[in-house]
Amino acid sequence: MDRIRIRGGRSLSGTIPISGAKNAALPLMATALLTDGPLTLTNAPDLADVVTMSGLLSQHGLTVDHDRKARTITLSGAANNLEAPYDLVRKMRASVLVLGPLVARFGRARVSLPGGCAIGTRPVDLHLQALEQMGATIEITAGYIEATAPDGLKGARVIFPQVSVGATENILMAATLAQGTTEIVNAAREPEITDLAACLMRLGARIEGIGTDRLIVEGVTSLGPAVHPIIPDRIEAGTYACAAAITGGQVLLGGARLDHLGAVVRILRDAGVDVAETEGGLKVSRLNGLRGTDVMTEPFPGFATDMQAQFMALMCVAEGAAMITETIFENRFMHVPELTRMGARINFHGHSAIVRGVSRLSGAPVMATDLRASVSLILAGLAAQGETIVNRVYHLDRGYERVEEKLAAIGADIERLPG
């Protein structure tokens, strides 16, 4: 199993190109089930999760051509297998996004209950309740969701009791081929939702309210081909912004968009990090010390839960104290024990952690527990004195493209060690 070795203490300087967003690419790929295509996605990231989704869609019967050099994914054909098996779905929670498109187009689907990172239960109840409101019959047997709608899905008013990105994506896709009008209330507003809606519109869907918490979808009988560019990864951009800040460096995040980062930029600025929009992306630097800054994770445009671990690593070397409160996932402090192995001073209880900054972290062998925890340990290693070995980096490869190469190119002493 691969490991990553970091020798810390180097200031980072240069340009990091931001890849296409993982959290946008996966639902965009699932939209191919709604049409015979072809659907061509440009600016496609080369990630383990993308490979997993490609395999899942291929076993459904689609033709998937992933041109890594051209950074495109082209999907075509109609599904001839309506089951998403456990062996594939267990690897990645986003696999459940095939459920809505399959039921909407073919009237039935059998999808394994999903897996993914161990950061919380993340139930699919909201997805299933919404599909039932649209006329589907849902049964869960032997670990599988069995959904049927032999007469097709019907438009409905779906009110989510809480904001859910995945449920919004699933129902938005399903509604495009439903009979009549579907209103989605309390919809997630993340940039990835907006990107998904834009792609569906290119395919021929009729959607109003894009970018708001109320989406109105007028169902159509069929969708056609399209070419769609995937938005830059805002979480990758935020992560490398923290890398620049934690090392006292200056980094240009090529292609990153300020409007996609929401409260992350405001919190970074409060902590003493300069984030400036430029023609080529975002320029991030830290010329003075870091300040302890409180943060609470919230749905977009609030502070992203996917940035919580990275920001905690940053606060480990800030002056003063910071309270970090996690409101989205209940198990998302699993990186805390590993950071404390490196000398961090963190106390946590329930959903909140108090981080008291130290002058310097110390390199140590640490264990990654999930995707964002993995990269938080790399950030800590960049600032630490001595050598840090991050084990179990397969989590990292799910969401970060060539992280060690990108960091090495701007001055980090980092390398991947084969297992």
Tokens for 392, please give them. Answer: 């179990």
Q: Is 36 annotated as contributing to ligand binding? A: no
Segment holding 141, helix H or strand E: strand 137-141
Q: Is 294 annotated as contributing to ligand binding? A: no
Q: Count of alpha carbons within 13 Å of 339, Cβ hemisphere only?
A: 35
Q: Is there a contact between 73 and 93 (Cβ–Cβ < 8 Å)? A: no
Q: Is 230 annotated as contributing to ligand binding? A: no
Q: Is 93 annotated as contributing to ligand binding? A: yes
- Residue 117 bears catalytic tag: yes
- Starting at the edge strand found earlier in the chain, the sheet holding 413-417 runs 365-367, 387-391, 3-7, 413-417
Q: Please choose, from the candidates 46, 74, 97, the residue with its C-alpha nearest in 3D space to the C-alpha of residue 226.
A: 74
Q: Is 288 annotated as contributing to ligand binding? A: no
Q: Is 124 annotated as contributing to ligand binding? A: yes
Q: Out of 117, 199, 242, 316, which one is annotated catalytic? A: 117
| Per-residue b or e along 387-405, where b marks 16 or more CB atoms closer than 10 Å to that residue's CB | ebbbbbbebbbbbbbebbe
Q: Is 306 annotated as contributing to ligand binding? A: yes
310 to 4, 112, 127, 147, 371: CA distances (angstroms): 17, 31, 29, 38, 11
Which residue type does 366 have? V
Sorted by sequence, the CB contacts under 8 Å of residue 227 that are 6+ apart come out as 39, 40, 42, 202
DSSP per-residue codes, 50-67? HHHHHHHHHHHT-EEEEE
Residues with a catalytic annotation lie at: 117
Q: List residues forming the annotated binding site for UDP-N-acetyl-alpha-D-glucosamine.
A: 93, 122-126, 306, 328
Q: List residues forming the annotated binding site.
A: 22-23, 93, 122-126, 306, 328
Q: List residues forming the annotated binding site for phosphoenolpyruvate.
A: 22-23
